[in-house]
Chains A and B, each alone.
Chain A
Amino acid sequence: MNDRQILLRALRAPSICRDLSNREWESLLALSDRARLTATLAWRLERHGLEDAIPPGARRQLQASRVFADFRNRQILWEMNRVQRVLRKADFDVIALKGGAYLLLDLPLARGRLPADLDILVERKNLAAMEDLLLAEGWQTTKLDDYDQRYYREWMHEIPPLRHPERKVEVDVHHALLPMTARIQASPELLWPSARAVEGSRFKVLAPEDLVLHAVVHLFYDSDFDNRLRDLLDIDELLRFHARREEGFWRRLSRRAADHGLTRPLAYALHCCHRLLDTPVPADARLSGTIPPWLLRWMTLLIHQALPPPTTHRFAPLDATARWLLYVRSHYLRMPLRLLLPHLAYKAWKRN
């Protein structure tokens, strides 16, 4: 079997780890480190009761990765604590997105996950107030030139990242789940009435269906090269978790996707999760009728090809092409061509 996909295989069916050679363990750990998924892998192995099957060298690395993931999660929780303090001076609601929300909800996927920064959502009308509050309490805008400032403020769904000089976690304040320039507009106003309160926290979290849809949007629209597998795993874990607990979850999910105009991306995501991670998506919930089957297969193939993280020592032209296609696609979806082409040209020029 293809070594490049060993990480995907181990995450899908952890029991294969019983039969790995030491070289395969090394390939697996190298890939999981690169994808920042070693601690996630560690938790999956534990959940499947496979600790005894792990050779000592690998066990040390998995243990160390868990210590580090706990540290990152503590940093995010602490940043939330600091933001929460500031919010005493505000009378509007704030939603914690992604990693922050998973931690607040204590979802199993939060364990071992390495959140890069803290993402929060406010209503557009409160955006300026939120930014002013944070700036007044010591957060600073990370140094960006005028072009970047304009890029964020005119086109994106978030303001330029803020960071407190004493801490390392960036705070991204969003007002929507998708860039303003995107051709699909998930309706931010729909998110607020169904957002849920969290006991003991000033933050709210998205309703379960919206949590999934946000993760879906992230997978297809955010041009992050290395985290695609993590995004897919997030969706997989959210689906598994909520399908077990929430009555009528699948029906509500597809209805919600339709309300947001996100049926197509959801269909792609469900198909990918089912095919690549064995996510138990019921056949009648897969929205198969909404997209031609060849297109579904093609997209799954592309995602599959682009999942292994790129390495410097071995150039894999197929992977690179798939990553490039998805990168271009994500940008194409984010912006109309008349904005996109000048933007990519500017970025290319800056890089040289």
Chain B
Amino acid sequence: MKIAEHSRPELTKRLASPDGLRLEVGPFSVRIRSETGVFPPFLRSLYADFPLSSPETVADFRIRLRRPKTFRRFLQPQIIFESDGQKLFQPFPLSHAPPLFEWGLNWCIGTRAHQYLILHAAVLERGGRAVIMPALPGSGKSTLCAALMLHGWRLLSDEFGLVRAEGLLDPIPRPIPLKNQSIGVIRRYAPQATLGPEFPKTRKGTVAHLKPTPASVARMRETAEPAWIVFPRYQEDSPARLSPLVPSYALLKLATNAFNYEVLGAEGFRRAGRLIRRCELYSFQYGHLEDAMNVFDSLPGR
């Protein structure tokens, strides 16, 4: 059953129960307990199409959003992210429980899921072929990724390229966190898109989450074949320009930007190397989303 098929009180009750709620997120099962009323509405609207895991699964991550029991809760309520009973970060203001959950789950995946080579990249797929966009500073990757998804590409992830041993990519199509100006850009680009509430003054400025398209979530069990690696760079008012990249540069950038390249050792090198060999490699400069969409509609491939 999907999240949206449960009423908000039902979700709240499930989240508050000792067993929590088991959410299926791509290849992972996440057990969530939450004592705050701020979280269920966020879950219900942005994870609407995600299924609950069967109660027999063993959760990959066991997360709890907990109110600290200090005197401070009366003055300035806070929320703590716990994984396996361990507090991971400094408390957030209570109203920021949703971005804390998103950030904490990212942390869990990035530091633990070493069955994958975990690229720090946005990944989308169309016609059975996936494009990987590594997240380098100033790339505008989230904005581009959001626009591509709204333009009909299937979202695999805005944050993680999960590379399996045989080289295929596992989807984890969670909500896309848009930051600051990106929020307005996407609202203008696609007025019909569902965005969550804006959370001002987070570590990364104002954040609002874009709901993944139902088609992306419905196919989150379907792996995708990597076909392109595109390093995007946003430059105000620049014309869209796609230029080929040398493999050595692409490999270096991809590997050093991954979450666990070193942890995987030789296996990390092999997986990254195979990825580079089977993909077309480009750098991509753009200034307008519409131009970018046109380029991506006809990405030259083998």
Contact = CB atoms under 8 A, between A and B. Distances in A.
Interface in A33-85: 33-34, 55-58, 60-61, 63-65, 67-68, 70-71, 74
Contact of B55 (A22, A68, A74): A22
A26 B265 contact: no
B202 interface: no
B13 interface: no
A149 B278 CA distance: 55
A71 B265 contact: yes
Contacts of B66: 313
Given A64-B115, A70-B265, A311 B62 contact: no
B209 interface: no
B87 A312 contact: yes
Given A22-B56, A64-B112, A68-B114, A57 B86 contact: no
A317 B114 CA distance: 35
Give the interface size bracket for B toward A. 20 to 34
Contacts of B114: 63-65, 67-68, 71
Contacts of B141: none
A29 interface: yes
Contacts of A68: 112, 114, 263
A211 to B, nearest CB: 27
Contacts of A70: 265
Contact of B85 (A22, A30, A56, A71): A30
A74 B62 contact: no
A74 to B, nearest CB: 6
B29 interface: yes
Contacts of B289: none
B43 interface: no
B84 A33 contact: yes
Contacts of B58: 22, 25-26, 29, 55-58, 61
B251 interface: no
Given A29-B58, A67-B114, A313-B66, A23 B263 contact: no
Q: Which of B58, B84, B85, B262 has the most CB of A within 10 A?
A: B58
A57 B265 contact: no
Contact of B57 (A57, A61, A311): A57
Contacts of A25: 58
B15 to A, nearest CB: 15
Contacts of B263: 67-68, 71
Contacts of B59: 22, 26, 57
A245 interface: no
Nearest to A74: B265
B31 A312 contact: no
A143 interface: no
Contacts of B57: 22, 55-57
Q: Which of B64, B84, B87 has the most CB of A within 10 A?
A: B84
A125 interface: no
Interface string B50-83: 0000011111101010100000000000000010
A338 interface: no
A314 interface: yes
A58 B262 CA distance: 24
Interface in A97-137: none
B115 A34 contact: no
B19 interface: yes
Contacts of A57: 29, 57-60
B87 to A, nearest CB: 5
Contact of A312 (B62, B86, B113): B86
A203 B31 CA distance: 46
B84 A30 contact: yes
A61 B62 CA distance: 12
B150 interface: no
B35 to A, nearest CB: 11
Contacts of B29: 57
A23 B62 CA distance: 11
Nearest to B111: A68
B299 interface: no
B115 A311 contact: no
A314 B85 CA distance: 8
Closest 5 A-B residue pairs measured CB to CB?
A57-B58, A311-B85, A30-B84, A67-B114, A64-B114
Interface of B: 19, 27, 29, 31, 55-60, 62, 64, 66, 82, 84-87, 112-115, 262-265, 267
Given A22-B55, A68-B112, A311-B86, 18 more contacts: A26-B59, A29-B84, A30-B62, A30-B84, A30-B85, A34-B84, A60-B27, A60-B113, A67-B115, A67-B267, A68-B263, A71-B265, A311-B84, A311-B85, A312-B82, A312-B85, A313-B66, A313-B85
Interface of A: 22-23, 25-26, 29-30, 33-34, 55-58, 60-61, 63-65, 67-68, 70-71, 74, 311-314
